[in-house]
Amino acid sequence: MLTYTTYSEAGGVGKTTIGAALLECHAGHGFDVLAIDMDQQNGSLTYLLDVDAPRDDSQADNIVRHLIDRPKGPLDDLILETEFGLDVLPSHNMLENLEDLLKRAQQMAEDLGEGGEFDPYDRLRQVLLESGVPQKYDVIVVDPPATAGPHLYNAVSATRSLVIPVEPTGKGMQSVLGLEELVDGLEDRLEAEIGVLSAVPNGVGRTADQDRYMTEIRNRGYPAPVAIRDRSSLFEGCWDRQCTPRYYIENHRDRKRDHEMETLEKIDQLATKIEEVGGL
């Protein structure tokens, strides 16, 4: 089984779009794929994949209710099919208050003498373990928001591996350094080993820049099989039409453009590489 979290410290580097494109590739390779959307923002995977989830109905069952041990039904029932060959466990507005809700749930568990069993950073993994959901999938990918916090901690604890889109700028590289510290802390906290399946330089301009950043990332010891060139037009189109990049090109472009096909090809290579490393 392959599990990973797509994470970057900086917002707007195409994390969710690249994540969706990777998921679509895994599905295209014949794997059963589940995306778990932990991002409460409107620009989340749930929106991009255009599934009809009641994200603002606090009475409806949702992922947060499961995380705080107040589910209204089986986790299975929350999972929706998309038209891109993969399933999604959608985001919900309650994720905005996740930290607070987890604290309260932990307090309640402690009051009941069950405090030792409630780890607010390991809830997603626990919920998945108890649900039987992981047995149904070959690939599970969690998409957390681009900030450190309980969403990220739960995502990492439940997947233990990372795919990191990196903005190819000094600031972007800085965020990789920040991530290293964060992950070190998480490894200790979760007593789990965390691996980096791939860094993905995204939005790279000229070839010389691309090479420089690829080299820098690799020198830090991270695999970076491909760099994605600046494809804002394609990625914006995906958000506009609420679909994955391949779907956008196939259904919304009047003609296939070589450079965009090349980008899809690269993402497919990346997906294959990740599958190999993940042992699929």
> What is the contact surface with other proteins in residues (CB under 8 A)?
1-3, 116, 125, 128-129, 134-135, 157-162, 179-180, 183-184, 187, 191-197, 221-223, 277-279
Length of the chain counted residue by residue? 280
Q: Which of 160/241 has CB closer to other proteins? A: 160
CB of 218 to other proteins, least distance (A): 10
CB of 156 to other proteins, least distance (A): 8
CB of 230 to other proteins, least distance (A): 26
Q: Mapping DSSP to helix (H, G, I), strand (E, B) and coil, where does residue 175 land?
A: helix
CA distance 144 to 11: 11
Q: Which of 29/241 has CB closer to other proteins? A: 29
CB of 133 to other proteins, least distance (A): 10
Q: Which of 28/278 has CB closer to other proteins? A: 278
Q: Which of 20/217 has CB closer to other proteins? A: 217
Q: Which two tokens stand for residue 1?
A: 């089984």
Of 272, 256, 245, nearest to 49 by C-alpha is 245
Q: In the chain, which residue ranges form alpha helices assigned H by DSSP? A: 15-28, 45-48, 63-67, 98-111, 123-131, 150-159, 170-190, 207-219, 232-241, 245-252, 258-277
Q: Which two tokens stand for residue 254?
A: 């009047």
Q: Which of 29/160 has CB closer to other proteins? A: 160
Q: Identity (one letter) of the amino acid at 239?
A: W
CB of 119 to other proteins, least distance (A): 9
Q: Which of 184/262 has CB closer to other proteins? A: 184
CA distance 109 to 196: 33
> DSSP label at 89?
E
Do 139 and 280 meet the contact criterion of CB atoms below 8 Å apart?
A: yes
Q: Which two tokens stand for residue 180?
A: 């290293």
CB of 182 to other proteins, least distance (A): 9
